[in-house]
Amino acid sequence: MVHRLGVLISGRGSNLQAIIDAVTDKRLAAEIAVVISNVAEAGGLARAASAGIESIVMPQHQWPDRDAFDGALAAALQRRRVDLVCLAGFMRLLGPAFLEAFPERVLNIHPSLLPAFPGLDAQQQAFDYGVKVTGATVHFVSAELDGGPIVMQAAVPVAADDTSDALSARILAAEHRLYPQAIKRVLDGQGRLDGRRFLFPI
């Protein structure tokens, strides 16, 4: 079965590009049915256009409240028969009106080893804290910010002479490798959630 992905973005879309590349190279048996951005100027929209993928801009302020926006977003994805939603730099919390439409079918990538450094500027937070290892996490999305069950993580060591920018670039490269692998693992359907733990055969 060819799965249908919906990718949600707010910015440059480099993780979107990593997913597009994985689909093109057949590392992922999926097609990207639609890209949705809540920001009209998002650079990722041009990446979707170059790949011939439909994209939609849905700025949240066009809806009266969070539930109305979440409902419209879910409906747009359901109309396109999306079966897995991938947040790729989508900088908005999704509430129950959205998550109940896609139970255990929404993934996010975050640039730290969660539960350390949730929220904004996770790379800078880790650098400033002085950790020796940080990384990237793909997790199921829950109503809690960066809080859902973890699918996969990649570790990135912090070097003694690192800068925050150099570290961020290495984390981003790790994200681009990790996200397609984690999507594949979820699409394979062999994993299951046991409480917070996502278990899959080795």
For ligand GAR, the closer of residues 2 and 27 by Cβ is: 27
CB crowding 78-117: b at 16 or more within 10 Å, else e: eeeebbbbbbbbbebebeebbbebbebbbbbbbbbbbeeb
**CB of 21 within 8 A of CB of 49?**
no
Residue 180 structure tokens: 């397609």
Location of structure tokens 């977003």? 73
For ligand GAR, the closer of residues 68 and 170 by Cβ is: 170
CB of 136: closest distance to ligand GAR in angstroms? 7
For ligand GAR, the closer of residues 8 and 101 by Cβ is: 8
Among 94, 110, 79, residue whose Cα is nearest residue 38:
94
For ligand GAR, the closer of residues 129 and 192 by Cβ is: 129
CB of 1: closest distance to ligand GAR in angstroms? 27
Task: Determine the residue type at 174.
Answer: A
CB of 112: closest distance to ligand GAR in angstroms? 8
Rounded to whole angstroms, the Cα distance separating 94 from 142 reads 8
The site for ligand GAR (CB under 6 A) is made up of 9, 11-15, 44, 88-89, 109-111, 122, 146, 172, 175
CB atoms closer than 10 angstroms to residue 172: 17
Q: Phi-psi bin for 13: left (phi > 0), alpha (psi -120 to 50), beta? A: left
Closest residue by beta carbon to ligand GAR: 89
CB of 128: closest distance to ligand GAR in angstroms? 16
CB of 202: closest distance to ligand GAR in angstroms? 26
Told to judge if 139 belongs to the known catalytic residues of this protein, a careful annotator would answer no
**CB of 104 within 8 A of CB of 195?**
no
Rounded to whole angstroms, the Cα distance separating 55 from 49 reads 7
Active-site pick, 3, 110, 139, 176: 110
Catalytic center residues: 110
